[in-house]
Structure 1
Amino acid sequence: MYLNKRRMPLELLYYNALSFRKELSRQEKYEKEKIQRGYEGECQYDQILDEAGHDNIYVIRDVYLKTGNTDTQYDTIIISENRVVINEIKNYTGDYRYENNRWFRNNKDINDNAFAQLDRAKGKLMNLMDEAELHVKVEAALVFTSDDLRLSSEDQRIWQETIVRNHLRNYLRQFYNEYLGNKAKSIANLIRNAVVENTYFKETADINQLRRGLYCGECGSFNLIKKRFQFCCAECETVESSDSHLLRAMHNYKYLFYNQPMTQSSLTYLINDEINRSTIYRAFQKYCHINRKGNYTTYTLKYQDLEEALELHRKTQRYKDKLVTNR
């Protein structure tokens, strides 16, 4: 059973928001596509795990754990009464070769040593278990989710901890025979208590390079017609309430300026004063955590998933959104 939801990576949330407000550079497009591909691989893994079944195991996904003096990222941790299994997920495509502890793609040396990452993650988790005096077997496997991968290696050791796509379903089915007890609960609690935020994410947008204002949630156009309580897109005729636009703008702000506080003035500047301050203030009260320090107030959007936030909002909104998706 899943103990948490797999969330879109902070880096992808950043690049998605950035792509609506500026033309991405070649490097930014490359980074966005690489992260998107990795996230899609993780979602494919989850889908196959759903089909194989996970009632007899605990599954913790996409977390950073404080282990010693470092924070270590884990794509998936599977917990049963008898063992803990780390799955590092890669959505590689094309021809890869592993030779002398080095990776090659299309015969070109690449930096990403996935087996070294896996060994480090395994060692850190073993240390966490040992410090808590939880004696449990820790295993690790590198999982490749794409069926368009051709991997070769003369190092026979790697195949013991390598799962390719056509073996993935059978690999995950083995966990059907596991079971959960008090020890598994203790392991899960230990891991969950070690979870920390992603401290490696440092991206911040340059506000001077961004297009300010509100944009259509369906087609991305900034060409909006303001009505009393809603905006109508002049391009696709989608109608969205002021609150829907503010949720999107707050979500943009959260990830474009992740380590910077959001204030009424800073959000008003991002949306180019297209919604009045009293409406913004009411939206802050509904959708944000409020942080007060004397006379200084900042706001933190409660939601990481914009679609989830919009879905909840649309269930109760007075002025209904009218989405035009098939133009």
Structure 2
Amino acid sequence: MIQKRGKPYDLLVLEALRNRMTLEHKYHVRYVNLSKGYGGECCLDDRIDKIKHCIVLKDLSFTIGGVDVQLDTVIITSKEVILCEVKNYEGEFVYREESLYKLDSKIEIYNPLLRLPRSKLLLKQVLKELNYGHMPVEAVLVYVNPNFSLYEAPYFSHLVLPTNINSYFEQVEKNLEPLTHAHTILADKLCSLNQPKKYGNNLPQYEYEMLKKGMICLNCNSFIESLAPKHQSICCEQCGSREKVQEAIVRHVKEYQLLFPDRKVGVSAIKEWCGGMVPEKRIRQVSKKK
């Protein structure tokens, strides 16, 4: 059983906005950081999803004792529950006295290892409340970027560097037994507690009138100049990629709803959002199929 990872709400909003307005520097930096973080999590997913006899839960968010808990990846095996916190840092770093420093600038950055014990404790509390307190919990911090290097760090069994990812999960896979119904029940209970957060506290202010209208290429994010004959597909003049008009309309409706959840989604509204490129008749046909 493998749960699909979705993009964070803030990343979805920033992705949509950056195509239609100029982001301030701080919001552009936030977009880049969120994008890197999500990319790193997906990179690790590719490896974890190959493990047999396990249940993989992703992006769990819940509250316990008034404390918000966010867990990147939880792996349920026959032997234990493994919490994986993922970082996609890039570059050379030095570890000194529980702190991380960039090697080139000597700037200190937050050491994510310090957060790991808290996350592990909170997960153990959740398992106890669900009557699974007997299951051992292992927590590891995984650096996934192959261009990440860490110097002068002592050995930590709960620290997995890029060069150790495969060997670590090969050890996890050793002697795993098939899961029982009890493990499936645990996964279901954890999923039932999951409350995906819509933060939006660190997003730019925007209004409908501020944003550029038009259809955007799914591949390169350029604005589409024209539709193919008979309005069956859109073709990007920048990268040459094609997309069925029906799929493009659905994608732009979702984008519109994401950015303006309180606005009415009507045929004329979507036509305007798409820059008037698609006839109302075509939009109406797609709406009926949905």
TM-score (norm 2): 0.82
Given that 2:82 and 2:137 are in contact with CA atoms closer than 8 Å, whether structure 1 keeps it comes out as yes
The 8 Å contact of residues 217 and 236 in structure 2, kept in 1 or not, is answered as no
**What amino acid sits opposite 1:121 in the alignment?**
S
The Cα shift of 1:173 comes to: 1.2
- The secondary structure found in structure 1 opposite 2:127 is helix
Q: Tell me, which stretches of 5 or more residues in structure 1 are unaligned?
A: 288-327
Out of 87, 90, 97, the residue aligned to residue 87 of structure 2 is 90
Q: Which residue of 2 aligns with 1:305?
A: none
Query: Which one-letter code corresponds to 1:10 in the other structure?
Result: Y
Aligned match of 1:22: 21
Q: Once structures 1 and 2 are overlaid, which stretch shifts more, 261-270 or 117-126?
A: 261-270
The residue correspondences of 1:1-327 to structure 2 (distance < 5 A) are 1-2=1-2, 4-50=3-49, 53-106=50-103, 107-110=106-109, 112-135=110-133, 136-153=135-152, 156=154, 159-176=156-173, 177-179=175-177, 180-202=179-201, 203=203, 205-218=206-219, 220-225=222-227, 227-230=229-232, 233=235, 235=237, 241-257=244-260, 259-260=261-262, 262-264=264-266, 266-287=269-290
3-state SS in 2 of match to 1:143: strand
Aligned partners of 1:205 and 1:256 also within 8 Å: no
Contact 2:227/2:277 (<8 A) preserved = no
1: distance between equivalents of 2:206 and 2:141? 34
In the alignment of these two chains, the number of paired residues is 280
Task: Call closer, same or farther: CA 1:232–1:79 in 2, change over 3 Å.
Answer: closer
The AA in structure 1 aligned to 2:208 is I
Letter in 2 for 1:87: C
* C-alpha deviation, 1:169, in angstroms: 0.7
Shift of 1:37: 1.8
Q: Find the aligned partners of 1:133 and 1:12 in 2 and give their Cα distance.
A: 35
Amino acid at match of 2:255: N
Amino acid in the other structure paired with 1:149:
F
For residues 267 and 252 of structure 1, the distance between their equivalents in structure 2, rounded to whole angstroms, comes to 10
Shift of 1:18: 2.2
Q: Which stretch of the first structure deviates more once superposed, 167-176 or 17-26? A: 17-26
Distance, in Å, in 2 between the alignment partners of 1:184 and 1:238 is 44
Judging by fraction of residues, say which structure has more strand: 1
Seen in structure 2, the aligned counterparts of structure 1 residues 189 and 248 have a Cα distance that, compared at 3 Å, is closer
Q: CA RMSD in A?
A: 2.9
In structure 1, C-alpha distance between the alignment counterparts of 2:278 and 2:227, rounded to whole Å: 12
Over residues 36-66 of structure 1, what are the superposed CA-to-partner deviations in whole Å (9 max), with x where a residue is unaligned?
222222222122334xx41121111223234
Deviations 1:269-294 (A, max 9, x none): 4234444445434433433xxxxxxx
How much identity, in percent, do the aligned residues show?
24
Preserved CA contact (<8 Å) 1:230 1:239: no
Unaligned runs of 5+ in 2: none
Per the normalisation by structure 1, the TM-score is 0.74
User: C-alpha distance in 2, partners of 1:241/1:183?
Assistant: 44
Is the Cα contact below 8 Å between 1:225 and 1:234 reproduced in 2?
Answer: no
